[in-house]
Structure 1
Amino acid sequence: MEFGFGAEDEVFRGEARGWLEAHQGGDPARSEPARSDWERELGRGGWIGLGWSEGGYGNRRASLTQQVVWAEEYARAKAPPRSGHIGENLLAPTLIAHGTDEQKTRFLPPVARGEELWCQGYSEPGAGSDLAGIRTTAVRDTGGGSGDPGRSGRSGGSGRSGGSYRITGQKIWTSLAHEADWCFVLARTRPESTRHHGLTFLLVPMDQPGRIEVRPIRQLTGTSEFNEVFFDGAVASAEHVVGGEGNGWRVAMSLLGYERGVSMLAQQIGFAEELGRVVEAAVTNGTAADPVVRDLLVRQWAELRTMRWNALRTLGSSGDSTGAAGAPSVAKLLWGRWHQRLGELAVRVRGAGAAVGPADWSTASPYELDAFQHLFLFSRADTIYGGSDEIQRTIIAERVLGLPKEPRGQGG
């Protein structure tokens, strides 16, 4: 497979680079109002939803190679962190594939404008990598009197014509739930069901005081991007079931396939930036003279190049159903452990100084980390979140190589 950029792609690259230089403002502020403002700025510029292939939902059209160009230029520009990527890259493709026309019309334009933010309600305390074990329930209420709460009338339908669902349970590791307007939730709608049967994919408004509680999770890094979310009779409209009741597993697996597409290439640009800083530090402090360290640096560089070409190959061969089934798992295995090794190498290059805090405590918070310390600590979770390495290997073994399934407990 030959994956290259043509003349039109380079013109597009110039446009993207110019827009980012003109609008980024230099400092990628991380405060929530600034993040929300940035999403709207991207929306006004037409840069959200480049991969959406149908419809008039507010996004500009772009080829696959142009989507890659935008992702790479965004990462190279060190543009602000995205708050809207879950809605744009996960929910939107899922709605385009499985949603009704009414759902697309209601939810896609606000995502494209950067006006509504989403979070993902999948993992639970007892069902993380093993997603089929979820216990959150959604009970159908056909009375139609409870309605569908939402933010300032933006809920997109009262639910009166088709009833609603009452959701009870807990989700965990929910990225950006404290900022989100909506959450797509995988819940069990058939009480007697087990494993991947009887699950439903629901769109749930987050503005439900007393019914939804968000609790930030403090991480090793001292930050709190992840959250616990508790649902206590939270209401979702029956009109906001995606793919039909009981078909949630199929929809959820489809969504996970979108999670590791073009965005993997942008992620690798960020990895390259991190590796460059580690190499620079090694050269500056002399540890690059150590043949073992030098070998490790070269190995990291070579493996990163391999990951890039694997990602490009995967994008260019999406029609191969066998390869497509295992491609996300292969990619996750490659980058998760690679990034952990980079964190380990970063602290090795720093030496003993990697174990101490900032030099001037009078100007730093007690838990402030430098870039290498943050990289090391955060990357500890890379082989767990998004599906552990063990789960990824099982998927490859069973769905791609056709090996016998592992024995599972009752209901497996």
Structure 2
Amino acid sequence: MTIAEFNSPQFNLIGMPVNQLAATPLGNASISENNLGAANAAYVAIGDMWWDDHGSHTIDTSGSSLIGFQLGSGTWANGGSTLKVGIASLDTSNGPTGRPVNSSGVITPDVAAVITGGSGLTQLAWNDVVPTTGTRTIAQAERIAIFLQLTARAGSDALLVRSMPNAGFSNGIPNVCTYNGSSFVGQQLTPNFELRAHDGVRGALLGTYLISSGSSKSWNNTSTPKEYANIVQVPYACKAYGVVMYGNVSGDFDYVLYEDPLGTPVARASGSVDANTVAGTGVETYNLAFTTGFGWELTPGVPYAVAIKPTSGSNVSMNYMTFANVAHQASVPGGDNGYAVSRSTGAFSAQNSSLDRFFLGLRVGGGNAGGGGSFSGVICG
């Protein structure tokens, strides 16, 4: 039997009494910002490393390695300020709250970039910084800490580190903690870091998104475009059973699975929602089964679009996230080769240069890569 799989983290929850981690806890389009505005203030993410190729890779000072993160609208102007961005081992003697190895709150890095105030960072942007000291080899699934620490603060310098709120489903691992000058304090946030190794392989902490910003799209059957969707591809033959969407429903809509969406779209499975039958008009999760084409078999490597199509003049709203880099799309479960698209008629086209992705997934089951079968049960997209 040959086993095929996604490169991106893929959550197949078998036996857990949670329905595939419904999108509600993760679908918040807002962004949280943590302020680093005092000497030694720190933002720390702890989690298990997930490399795109599932290997072992080194972060070093060669110039090829990067540590990436998102900043809000802060101030970084004084040459007397110093920020350390790095990777550290975990302190297994103290906690919880989980924390990196440190000396009186000053984090001990294995590898780090040291950045002087007034240079090296861009506010309201994704930042990729090059380590300037140390080296660290990280194996697949190794638990590490990635951090920012303001080791010296001058003037009014203060940085805002961005994450996704996660109050609805608090993380044990991965998790975020902050250091406030006296103690490490856990936060209800999903970490937002990327690593690029010396050899160019990218990775992130398992269970995190590399989100740059979040928003929502509202439209109806008189709008242009008329359909919004995510492109999805699967690495093995499996069956499509329905969709999961996170949004706000005021009007009726169809949900449709299209084959060949970038060429001549052909509807393979679909269903409809009458707005009178939903729980309310707030932002909610919708778990929907196909009523036509239920169990449509997906062909490995073929692009499909899972789309939402309003059928009335009342709006449907759907949340989406924006990434700073197309490569960050792979941090989404089953997100290989996927991105947001739209159309009025004819072929779908990429939204925002393939940097967006809706909170819209395809529910699939089964799975066969040849020579035998396997269970999948994923939400991808």
TM-score of the pair, normalised by structure 2: 0.28
TM-score by length of 1: 0.26
Q: Which has the higher contact order (CA 8 A, sep 6+)?
A: 2
